[in-house]
Amino acid sequence: MAETATLPAIASHGASRLPSVELDSYNIELKDDEGFIGDRASKGAFRDIIENWRKQLRKNGNDPFGDEPSDKISKKTLDALLSKGDQEAAGILQGAIEDFSQELALVIRRFLKTKGWKDTERIVIGGGFRASRVGELVIGRTSVILKADKVDVELVPIRNDPDEAGLIGAAHLAPKWMFKAHDAILAVDIGGTNIRAGVVELNLKKAADLAKASVWKFELWRHADEKKINREAAIEKIVDMIKGLIDKAKKEGLALAPFIGIGCPGIINEDGSIDRGAQNLPGNWESSKFHLPGSLHAAIPKIGDDDTAIVMHNDAVVQGLSEAPFMKDVERWGVLTIGTGLGNARFTNRKDE
C-alpha cells in the first residue's frame, strides 16, 4: 500500500513482540450454540440481566425503576442504589451482579482453556464497566466464584481509570529510546461508544518503566451520540482533537515526542489496516483501502521538527499494556475489557526487561 510506505517505521502495527511483553493472544472470538461467548460479559449483557429481573416484577405490577429503560440508567444511579434508595431496586441490582458474575466466570473459564491463555496467573479487568462500584463488586464476586471452583487465577481491577488506561498504554507500543529528551506523547483510544485523544506525560525520571506515566489532558468525543457520522468525519474529528492537544502542549512547554500511539477495536494488520472487529465504529473501518495511521500521518506529518511516527494496536491490548510495569511479579497475565464488547489480550513478560 503506497500510503504506508512513507510512514516512519519504529514498530509494526499489531505486533506480537512489544518492548516489555510478548502478546500471546488478543481479540479471541469464542463461540458456543448461543453465539459469541464474549457477548455474555459486555455492558449490554449486564443491562439485559437487569431488564430480565425487572420483567419478573412487572408481572406483579411493581417495577421499582419506573419507566426508565434499563439501558438508560446511569452508572452513578446504579451505584447509589447499592448504598441508599429503594430496597427492591437494590435487590434487582444485587441479583444482576450475581447473574453477571456467574456469566463472567464462565467466560473466563473458557478463555483459560484456550492455548493462548494457558497458565494465566492474573487477569486485569478494565473497560468502562469497571469504572463503577457495580463493576468492582462484579470483579470481587467473580473472583470468589472462580476460587470456590478451584480455578487458580487472580482477578484485579485495572489500576488507572479505564478512560485513561487506554491512553497510557500507548506509551508501551514504542521503544523507550524514542522518548528520550521528551516529556510526553500523543495517544488515541478508539472505542465503540467514545473516542479519546490525550497527552500522556511519561515521567521517565520518576520511573524508567513508565510506572508513573499519567494523562495530562484528554479530549472526549461520544461518536455513538451522533445520528449521522461517517468514517471521514470521524477521522477529521480525531485530527482536530490531536491538533488541539499539540497546541495546548506547546503553550505549556511540554516537549512532545514525534509519536502517536493508537488503540483501536479489531484485529490490526501489520500494515495498519483492520482485518475485522471494528463493526461498532462509524463507517467501514475494515476496508482494505482504509488505513488510519496513513490518514493521520497525512494530516499531521510532523510533530515539532520531526516526522510523526504512528503505531496502532488493538484497544484491549493497549489498555492492558498500561499495567505492564505492575505485572513483574507474574510471568503470564491477561486483560479483559468490559465495554460495548469484551476486549481480551494475554501477555507474557519478556525476560530481557
pLDDT, tens digit, 9 for 90 and up, residues 45-97? 999 999 999 999 998 888 899 889 999 999 999 999 988 878 999 999 999 99
Amino acid at 27: N
Is there a shared CATH topology between the 2-21+161-327 domain and the 31-157 domain? yes
260 has a pLDDT exceeding 90? yes
Q: Helices in 13-86 by DSSP H: which ranges?
A: 43-58, 75-83
Query: pTM to 2 decimals?
Result: 0.92
With CA atoms as reference, report the closest residue to 314 among 333, 342, 282, 289.
342
Strand order in the sheet with 309-314: 214-221, 195-201, 184-190, 256-264, 309-314
Dihedral sign of CA atoms 282, 238, 198, 180 in order:
positive
Q: Taking residues 235-263, report their average pLDDT.
A: 96
Q: Taking residues 330-339, report their average pLDDT.
A: 96
Cell numbers standing for residue 316: 484491549
Q: 3-state DSSP call for residue 131?
A: coil
pLDDT of residue 7: 53
Question: How many C-beta atoms surround the C-beta of residue 224 within 10 A?
Answer: 15
pLDDT of residue 8: 52
Cell numbers standing for residue 250: 506547546
pLDDT of residue 353: 45
Residues 121-168: tens digit of each pLDDT: 999 999 988 889 999 999 999 999 999 999 999 999 999 998 899 999
Domain boundaries, the chain: 2-21+161-327, 31-157
- Is the Cβ–Cβ distance between 320 and 124 less than 8 Å? yes
What architecture (CATH level 2) is domain 2-21+161-327?
A: 2-Layer Sandwich (3.30)
Burial of 241 (0-12, 13-18, 19+ CB in 10 A): buried
Grid look-up 465495554 returns 339
At residue 278's C-alpha, the angle toward residues 105 and 217, to 5°, is: 85
225 has a pLDDT exceeding 80? no
pLDDT of residue 332: 98
Higher pLDDT, 49 or 33: 49
pLDDT of residue 281: 82
Q: 3: pLDDT confidence band, cut at 50, 70 and 90?
A: very low
114 has a pLDDT exceeding 80? yes
Backbone phi, psi, residue 275, to 5°: -75, -55
pLDDT of residue 148: 97
Average pLDDT of every residue of the chain: 91
pLDDT of residue 1: 36
Q: 3-state DSSP call for residue 121?
A: coil
pLDDT of residue 37: 81
- CA distances to 115, 130, 155, 283 from 120, rounded to whole Å, are 10, 20, 11, 36
* Cα–Cα distance for residue pair 50/31, rounded to 1 Å: 24
Dihedral sign of CA atoms 43, 44, 50, 53 in order:
negative
Q: 3-state DSSP call for residue 61?
A: coil
pLDDT of residue 326: 97
pLDDT of residue 108: 96
19 has a pLDDT exceeding 80? yes
Q: Helices in the chain by DSSP H: which ranges?
A: 2-5, 43-58, 75-83, 87-112, 133-148, 162-168, 231-252, 292-299, 315-321
* Cα–Cα distance for residue pair 147/135, rounded to 1 Å: 18
What architecture (CATH level 2) is domain 31-157?
A: 2-Layer Sandwich (3.30)
4 has a pLDDT exceeding 60? no
